[in-house]
Chain A
Amino acid sequence: MMERFSILIDDSEGALMRVIGTIERRGWRVRALAMTREGNRGCRLELELARLPWHRGDPAILVRHLEKLIPVAAVDCGGRGAPPWTGQTPDRAMVPAAAGAGA
């Protein structure tokens, strides 16, 4: 099963190695890779990844691992990885400390 990932990274040292290393360590192999410059936004990586057969390899989890890397600005894998169960968008109503409902 192949997955397509599109990743925007900055050009800090080790950025590419961090991305590839994370992918390989988390149960995936890189089958195809293209990297293009996107002006001063950094570099765009287009990857085709194959999951190791013995690995659970949920692409949504890989998205979130990649998003944690400091040089990674954005990860797209067909909308996967977004957290529907948390709805953590900054513009929604947040609960301030100690302001819960009742009890």
Chain B
Amino acid sequence: MTDAAASAAAAAPSRTASGGEMLVRALEAQGVEVIFGYPGGAIMPVYDALVGSPLTHILTRHEQGAIFAADGYARVTGRTGVTIATSGPGATNLVTGLANALADSVPIVAITGQVARPLMGSDAFQEVDTFGITLPVVKHSFILSDPDSIPELVAEAFAIAASGRPGPVLLDLPKDVAMAPVAARALPRGRPAPLPLPEAAAVARATAMIREAKRPLVYAGGGIALAGATAAFRAFIRRTGLPVVATLKGLGAIPTDAPEFLGLLGMHGNKAANLAVQRSDLLITCGARFDDRATGRVDGFAPEARILHLDADAAEVGKIRAADLALVGDLGQALEALRPGPLAITSWQQETAQLMKAHVWRYDAPGEGVYAPALLRALSEAAGEDLIVTCDVGQHQMWAAQHCRFTRPEAHLTSGGLGAMGYGIPAGIGALHAAPGARVVTVTGDGSIMMNIQELATLNRYRLPLKIVLLDNQALGMVRQWQDIFFDGRLSEVDLSDNPDFAALARVFGLAARTIEHRDEVAGAIDWLLGAEGPALLHVKIDPLANVWPLVPPGADNHEMLEETRQ
């Protein structure tokens, strides 16, 4: 609703609306354009209010698909994603998506229907304690138990979701509240609270630390994009020339082919990045949180480095690794303020450049079969600058992170903290609503795709031109790899050789589809996929025994990487 319309509503206090209508108007007043949801009994008054609303509602085929789509939408737009579901099973189906958004700090407002207030606590039909079930996986939550406070609580939910370190906020709406008459009135708009600015004395100390360091290194995380600080980050790197490593969510903070970029660090990071971290004497940690996938054995991580930690969330400072100095607050402002002047780090820059040269990815795998890393590299090069990759979880996810080119953080949507299989296709649906002209590719596996396969119907319904690359190794490949390496090759429940014919399945859902299995088919298949009109799936049969390299074994230090042995 525009400001004018809001004041018109305020000027007509005699008009009444239902609580459900009030909720829909409150969403409009927040500037929401698209919501992803799935209806049911307790949420019917809200669905009734959607009729005639300017909001676009996207009907997914599962509530998990809806919340992952809202998540993808939020990551690409930087705005809060909205999802809506009914009580009971609708609400419980949102839980994984809430946990995903909390782990990856994604602003989401999730609205759930609830049984009427007098029935709450009576084990009524489709009653679950949504508020209680979701407490550990939300940033905050409200039960909308007062019809008159709906607009204020919706505004507050949006403000909380987007403030500081973003996250999911749940609004549980009892059905009688949704049906109660509410006097129409002005609708407030929730605005995120500004973060504290860095303090001058702390900035001066941080600047001195950077000047004193001989081997300073930047460890970039997802917090850079969340803070809207990508431009400030790039300017900081340009004026300092500092080498950079990135977490899974930090990829794209600077373009992957920038000369300062050493690559992904951690468990499946590249060797140059991990070795540089181990050698560094100052780790400038920007919007990252020392996740165990990034650090390996914490005590052995960057053993010679002092830590300068820049983050929006004070609770991350010292949580895993003690910081020698922290700038907590607005990351962009902190980076703007850090101006250490020319640094005497030429020999360190040469050393890291040397590491890069010594550990470039190789794409000359033997054999005739499709080599997944080479396919992903070629695909991302062919797709160009506006490519957005959404991933599922497993080996294919790590290959995408290692081998695709990313020129901005919003180009790589991955379930980083939670590692939720099933994220890829719904996130692609969200991304296509966020950036309708963009080229969106989902990289998925034969295990993951089945977790939200029903969303192929959503692609067809809205004719969303998502391009899906399905890397089919007939296995839960990542688990198989770990069983091979860490459980003496005893394979347990990882075989998927009875997979359906994925291309035929995709066609049944209305997608164009094609299967390849030889290396010489790759170039043509990429052209076909990127040129296809609507949604399309490229089914790629790959070696069931291919592994992701390098690999830091759990509990090992990051320089103790296992590598591929090629004859």
Contact = CB atoms under 8 A, between A and B. Distances in A.
Contacts of A96: 197, 333
B132 A17 contact: yes
Best-surrounded residue of A18, A25, A64, A93 (most CB of chain B within 10 A): A64
A32 to B, nearest CB: 23
A70 B318 contact: no
A95 interface: yes
Contacts of B203: 95, 100
B135 A103 contact: no
23 contacts: A13-B143, A17-B132, A64-B314, A65-B315, A68-B313, A83-B314, A83-B317, A86-B317, A86-B326, A87-B199, A88-B199, A88-B328, A92-B199, A93-B201, A94-B197, A94-B198, A95-B203, A96-B333, A97-B337, A100-B207, A102-B339, A103-B339, A103-B340
Interface string B298-342: 000000000000000111011100011111110011001111111
Interface in A51-103: 58, 60-61, 64-65, 67-68, 70, 83, 85-90, 92-103
A42 to B, nearest CB: 16
Given A83-B326, A85-B202, A95-B198, A103 B341 contact: yes
Contacts of B402: none
Contacts of B326: 83, 85-86
Given A70-B140, A93-B199, A88 B340 contact: no
Contact of B200 (A25, A89, A93): A93
B348 interface: no
B143 A97 contact: no
Contact of A85 (B140, B204, B315, B325): B325
Contacts, number: 101
Contacts of B318: 58, 60-61
A17 B140 CA distance: 12
B131 A13 contact: yes
A95 B205 CA distance: 13
Given A61-B315, A83-B314, 9 more contacts: A13-B142, A13-B145, A67-B314, A85-B323, A87-B201, A87-B202, A88-B314, A97-B333, A100-B336
Given A21-B136, A85-B202, A86-B199, A101 B207 contact: yes
A99 B341 contact: no
A94 B202 CA distance: 10
A14 interface: yes
Contact of A92 (B141, B201, B324, B325): B201
Nearest to A87: B199
Contact of A88 (B196, B204, B313): B196
Best-surrounded residue of B196, B200, B332, B336 (most CB of chain A within 10 A): B200
Best-surrounded residue of A68, A100, A103 (most CB of chain B within 10 A): A100
B319 A98 contact: no
Contact of A95 (B131, B135, B200, B323): B200
Contacts of A101: 204, 207, 339
Contacts of B327: 86
B239 interface: yes
Contact of B239 (A67, A68, A97, A103): A103
Contacts of B319: 58, 61
A95 B239 contact: no
Given A25-B136, A83-B314, A88 B329 contact: yes
Contacts of A87: 199, 201-202
A58 B322 CA distance: 11
Contacts of B132: 14, 17
A65 B325 CA distance: 19
Contacts of A94: 196-200
B138 to A, nearest CB: 10
B160 interface: yes
A65 B289 CA distance: 14
A17 B138 CA distance: 13
B135 A18 contact: yes
A89 B323 CA distance: 19
A103 B341 CA distance: 4
A99 B160 CA distance: 29
A19 to B, nearest CB: 11
Given A18-B135, A61-B319, A92 B339 contact: no
A75 to B, nearest CB: 11
B337 A100 contact: yes
Contacts of A100: 203, 207, 336-339
Nearest to B164: A68
Interface string B213-243: 0000000000000000000000000010000
Given A68-B315, A90-B196, A92-B200, A17 B323 contact: no
Contacts of B204: 101
